[in-house]
Amino acid sequence: MCKGLAALPHSCLERAKEIKIKLGILLQKPDSAGDLVIPYNEKPEKPAKTQRPSLDEALQWRDSLDKLLQNNYGLASFKSFLKSEFSEENLEFWIACEDYKKIKSPTKMAEKAKQIYEEFIQTEAPKEVNIDHFTKDITMKNLVEPSLSSFDMAQKRIHSLMEKDSLPRFVRSEFYQELIK
């Protein structure tokens, strides 16, 4: 039986060890009953304290995800909406990519690139975004030597997905309807 395990590729053994560690953590008894409680807000988070947009500005968001994302109030409202649907990973990835593009130091860029990859791109990532294999492969190749454009293709795919899927749901939501009353 061990002989079969020895024949497994190195990455499979590493993955098996990771799974064993994660299962061990899950199987530990909590220190208190409070550890068993999963926090849940009955009311969605309020957008950040920024100036409420004019009606005309808010109405423009129906047709332009970019205008929504450029407005602090719109961004906060959109994020609250996505959190209420447990689908904020695409927006978080998009924001992480925007922050990444502002980095000047090659060392910090490499660290942030690794963090973004591990959090959003790699298979089984905690907040894995839904991108096709081709885009994932290109992004991985770009990360061999990180540059400001390393995540561009993946970010464009996620932007397109939010534009076609998340934005129309947001526009129909109570979050948006309250803004345009």
Which CATH number is 99's domain given? 1.10.167.10
Answer whether residue 16 is part of any domain.
Answer: no
Helix/strand/coil percent split, the chain, to 5:
65, 0, 35
Structurally, the chain folds into a number of domains equal to 1
Q: What is the pLDDT of residue 12?
A: 58
Q: What is the pLDDT of residue 104?
A: 95
Cα–Cα distance for residue pair 119/96, rounded to 1 Å:
10
Answer whether residue 124 is part of any domain.
Answer: yes
Q: What is the pLDDT of residue 32?
A: 41
Answer whether residue 47 is part of any domain.
Answer: no
Q: What's 55-101 look like in SS3?
A: HHHHHHCCCCHHHHHHCHHHHHHHHHHHHHCCCCHHHHHHHHHHHHC
Which residues form the domain of 84? Answer: 55-178
pTM, two decimal places: 0.71
Cα–Cα distance for residue pair 170/168, rounded to 1 Å:
5
Tens-of-pLDDT digits for all 181 residues of the chain?
Answer: 444 444 444 565 666 666 555 545 444 444 444 443 333 343 444 444 568 899 999 999 999 999 999 999 999 999 999 999 999 999 999 999 999 999 999 999 999 999 999 999 999 999 999 999 999 999 999 999 999 999 999 999 999 999 999 999 999 999 899 889 8
Answer whether residue 14 is part of any domain.
Answer: no
Answer whether residue 45 is part of any domain.
Answer: no
